[in-house]
Amino acid sequence: VQLQASGGGLVQAGASLRLSCAASGLTDSTNYMGWFRQAPEKEREFVAAISWSGGHTYYKHSVKGRFTISRDKDKNTVNLQMDSLKPEDTAVYYCSADKGYKALSTLMTYGMDYWGEGTLVTVSS
């Protein structure tokens, strides 16, 4: 599985950005795709996930209502629409996918199995 993320950039607080992730090599066992982020000097953290088949969505509490994850199964893409951005959203954002055999709670806590190169999002105050 290969994942290619794009769409990061520098914006002011309150602005919006849309991240996209193009996936190749996904298998029928893929259950979830998601986004994680890592801010400077902090641990990587879960941001949002989506079930690949049913499109059910899951969010970190602090982004719920501001971020929207979506997927296009025909194009094998996952997007993260980020609105009302805050300086604390500044981080490198990583697209990820699972192999299909771990529980979502485990994936959210420890990360998924496949990772793309990160894309930097910087929100200025």
- What is the pLDDT, as a whole number, of residue 124? 97
The distance from CA 75 to its chain's CA centroid, rounded to whole angstroms, is 17
- What is the pLDDT, as a whole number, of residue 78? 97
Residue with tokens 């520098």: 10
Instruction: Give the residue ranges of the chain where pLDDT is below 50.
Output: none
Distance separating alpha carbons of residues 94 and 117, to the nearest angstrom: 6
- What is the pLDDT, as a whole number, of residue 27? 84
In residues, how long is the chain? 125
Task: Say if residue 43 is exposed, middle or buried (CB neighbours under 10 Å; 0-12, 13-18, 19+).
Answer: exposed
Residue with tokens 């199964």: 73
First to last CA, the chain: 37
- What is the pLDDT, as a whole number, of residue 74? 93
Strand ranges inside 30-73, DSSP E:
32-38, 45-51, 57-59, 67-72
